Chain A
């Protein structure tokens, strides 16, 4: 297994050396395989955002060490050494639409690549290409980003990150505040990038349905500590533990568990998504018959 990201005993304290010092990460060790899809879940304030900001060194660990592909970040790494890392790890923050500032959508998308040395003409061509990739019409290129709706602005912002051609894509609640259809399209886009271009994805989310459907690996955070890592099956297999951590299982799994108390068995493991639930139920149902549940 080729490893993309390795956390080794990473700790981070905000405003270290002041009375306001607040520990946010405590001895986190974790590996994410190359082309992996990691979901980070946890209650608000559990350190998820701090964790992912380590990935492109917006925050440098105060203790421990972090490796992202060929880059190593320790508390003493200099900022100059980190610029190539910023291109390597693309960051989509919460409400990324707030980062738009250029006169035209095309210029805004081209801003990132230009900062990393892509020539202006190439960057602008790249911008047009990215615009269609995020599902916006090419005719938007010359419009002002501030004329768009919130959902469209978010697509432009995401296009601006994708235009840097990152190898690792970090997403901090990318679908918050979107309508259900927009959410679905956004998650499908990330899934496509993951499958077709082999991007390593780190997703922070409160949507357990998304975790169940897309993630290959789940990390659970609590009070700055990494308390559990596993496949979605392993994590969602213990709903009582999750609830104790103020988290929940996907709705399909909740439904499957209720059925289990009425005697339905799940030989292939608890179904986590609506599709898996339907498939397993269909397989168990006697053709054309009825079962009393």
Chain B
């Protein structure tokens, strides 16, 4: 499980860690728009500088981000290959066979796609590495508040989300324990052919589901025993407050946006 980095919080004390989670969520979202606005090398260079700056400010080592990319590498390569081989004609044609064209246009586009993937993964990894899952849930719930006006059960959704996030590490521990017990009984996880691997999952999944259902039942009883009622308005223990540093991030963001708008090819 130690390879599974995406969604794991690294407890450090940096300015990025201390930002308001609502702010980080909004920034990450707007950052993705920014990534799609960029369309030439200069604008991508500005984005890379912004991203590296954010990573630097978080004091998390770059190696962690590269490791975050590893599980997605095949998806990225697949998309890049599609882009490279099947781009519409444009510019110089380097190679041509049947319906496959490798063109100047295709090569450049593939490069852009690759950088886009990298940047978006890095920024979302930064979000999850620097923000506790529960803070992300609180932030999301707070951002969803306006939806209450259209009768969306925001509080219930927020509760579901925080319970789900809360039990990710618990279930991962549980999975690790069960895997250990089954490995001790001679199961090889992640070895052999596809069929053998799928079969090896059964001794893991059955006990894991059993324990998850038991846990869900215990938790619901514990919640009701403490007077939990669905759809009741809930007060919060952790109050999020917008700080000066949150405003500063938007100033930086606005500067980046302006630079990219100036540099991009119209």
From known contacts A19-B12, A53-B180, A101-B202, infer whether A164 and B185 are also in contact, taking CB-CB under 8 Å.
yes
In the bound complex, how far is the Cα of B182 from the Cα of A111, in angstroms? 10
Instruction: Give the size of the chain A interface in residues (CB under 8 angstroms).
Output: 28
From known contacts A19-B12, A93-B177, A99-B178, infer whether A86 and B183 are also in contact, taking CB-CB under 8 Å.
yes
- A100 on the interface (CB 8 Å rule)? yes
Are the C-beta atoms of B181 and A99 separated by less than 8 Å?
A: yes
With a cutoff of 8 Å between Cβ atoms, the chain A residues found around residue B177 in the complex are 93, 98
In the bound complex, how far is the Cα of B64 from the Cα of A20, in angstroms? 12
Are the C-beta atoms of A112 and B207 separated by less than 8 Å?
A: no
In the bound complex, how far is the Cα of B206 from the Cα of A92, in angstroms? 19
- A160 on the interface (CB 8 Å rule)? yes
In the bound complex, how far is the Cα of B61 from the Cα of A232, in angstroms? 49
- B91 on the interface (CB 8 Å rule)? no
Expressed in whole angstroms, the minimum distance between the Cβ of B33 and any Cβ of chain A is 32
Which chain B residue shows the least CB distance to A98?
A: B207
Are the C-beta atoms of A100 and B186 separated by less than 8 Å?
A: no
With a cutoff of 8 Å between Cβ atoms, the chain B residues found around residue A192 in the complex are none
In the bound complex, how far is the Cα of B181 from the Cα of A96, in angstroms? 8
With a cutoff of 8 Å between Cβ atoms, the chain B residues found around residue A98 in the complex are 174, 177-178, 181, 207, 210-211
- A217 on the interface (CB 8 Å rule)? no
**1/0 per residue A71-106: CB within 8 Å of B?**
000000001000100110111010010111100000
Which chain B residue shows the least CB distance to A91?
A: B184
**1/0 per residue B1-20: CB within 8 Å of A?**
01000000010100000000
In the bound complex, how far is the Cα of B184 from the Cα of A18, in angstroms? 27
**1/0 per residue B156-192: CB within 8 Å of A?**
0000000000000000001001101111111110010
Determine which residue in B178, B184, B186 has the highest number of CB atoms from chain A within 10 A of its CB, and name it. B184
**1/0 per residue B194-212: CB within 8 Å of A?**
0000000011001100110
- A116 on the interface (CB 8 Å rule)? yes
- A15 on the interface (CB 8 Å rule)? yes
Contact of B185 among A15, A18, A53, A99 (CB under 8 A): A99
Are the C-beta atoms of A83 and B186 separated by less than 8 Å?
A: yes
Which chain A residue shows the least CB distance to B203?
A: A101
With a cutoff of 8 Å between Cβ atoms, the chain B residues found around residue A89 in the complex are 184
In the bound complex, how far is the Cα of B210 from the Cα of A111, in angstroms? 19
Expressed in whole angstroms, the minimum distance between the Cβ of A252 and any Cβ of chain B is 34
With a cutoff of 8 Å between Cβ atoms, the chain A residues found around residue B181 in the complex are 91, 93, 96, 98-99
With a cutoff of 8 Å between Cβ atoms, the chain B residues found around residue A101 in the complex are 202-203, 206-207
Are the C-beta atoms of B185 and A115 separated by less than 8 Å?
A: yes
Are the C-beta atoms of A111 and B185 separated by less than 8 Å?
A: yes
- A146 on the interface (CB 8 Å rule)? yes
Determine which residue in A15, A86, A87, A90 has the highest number of CB atoms from chain B within 10 A of its CB, and name it. A86
Contact of B182 among A56, A99, A116 (CB under 8 A): A99
With a cutoff of 8 Å between Cβ atoms, the chain A residues found around residue B203 in the complex are 99, 101, 111
Contact of B186 among A15, A19, A79, A86 (CB under 8 A): A86
Expressed in whole angstroms, the minimum distance between the Cβ of B101 and any Cβ of chain A is 45
In the bound complex, how far is the Cα of B64 from the Cα of A213, in angstroms? 50
In the bound complex, how far is the Cα of B5 from the Cα of A19, in angstroms? 13
With a cutoff of 8 Å between Cβ atoms, the chain A residues found around residue B206 in the complex are 101
In the bound complex, how far is the Cα of B174 from the Cα of A115, in angstroms? 22
Which chain B residue shows the least CB distance to A99?
A: B181
A-B contact pairs, 13 of them (CB 8 A): A19-B61, A56-B184, A58-B180, A58-B183, A89-B184, A96-B181, A99-B178, A101-B206, A112-B185, A115-B186, A146-B210, A161-B184, A164-B185
Binding site for B on A (CB under 8 A): 15, 18-20, 53, 56, 58, 79, 83, 86-87, 89-91, 93, 96, 98-101, 111-112, 115-116, 146, 160-161, 164
Extra contacts besides A98-B211, A164-B185 (13): CB < 8 Å: A19-B12, A20-B10, A53-B180, A79-B191, A86-B183, A86-B185, A91-B181, A96-B181, A98-B177, A99-B182, A99-B203, A100-B207, A161-B185
Pairs of residues from A and B, 9 with the lowest C-beta to C-beta distance, nearest first: A115-B186, A101-B206, A91-B184, A99-B181, A112-B185, A101-B203, A116-B186, A58-B180, A93-B181
